[in-house]
Amino acid sequence: MAGPGDTGNVRFRYAPPDWTPQAALEMAGREGLELGEDHWELLNALQEYYARHEGQAIRRRVLHDALDEKFHYKGGLRFLYMLFPGGPLAQGCRLAGLEPPAGAFDPSYGSVA
C-alpha cells in the first residue's frame, strides 16, 4: 500500500482546482479506505474523463463502460468495486472532487455504481 500522501506515479493534470490529494486521503480515511496506487489511478482516470467531457452531461452507463474498458486488464468493474466498495462512480467521484453522475447512488435501494 502507498504511504500517506504517496500517489505513486500518478500526476493529476485534470484535477478540479479546489481538489488536493491530501483532501482525498482525509476523506478516504473517514470512509475506511487506505488509498493505494490503484485507487489513485482511478481517481486520475475519473478526473481526466470529466475534463475531456467538460460541458457535457456525464452519463452513468457511458462512464461505467469507459472505466470497465480502461481497467479491463486488471479485472474491469469487478476490480474497481473491490477497490471502492462504495462504488467506483459514487465513492470514486466523491474522492476525486467530482459530482457523481445521476443515478450513481440510489439511497432508496441502497445501491451504488
Report the domain count for the chain: 1
Provide the domain limits for residue 103. Answer: 21-112
Prediction pTM value:
0.84
- The total of other beta-carbon atoms located within 10 Å of residue 42's CB is 25
DSSP helix/strand/coil, 21: helix
In a domain? residue 69: yes
Q: What is the DSSP string of 54-113?
A: TTSPPPHHHHHHHHHHHTGGGTHHHHHHHH-TT-TTHHHHHHHT-PPPTTSEETTTTEE-
pLDDT digits (tens, 9 = 90+) for 26-84: 999 999 999 999 999 999 999 999 999 999 999 999 999 999 999 999 999 999 999 99
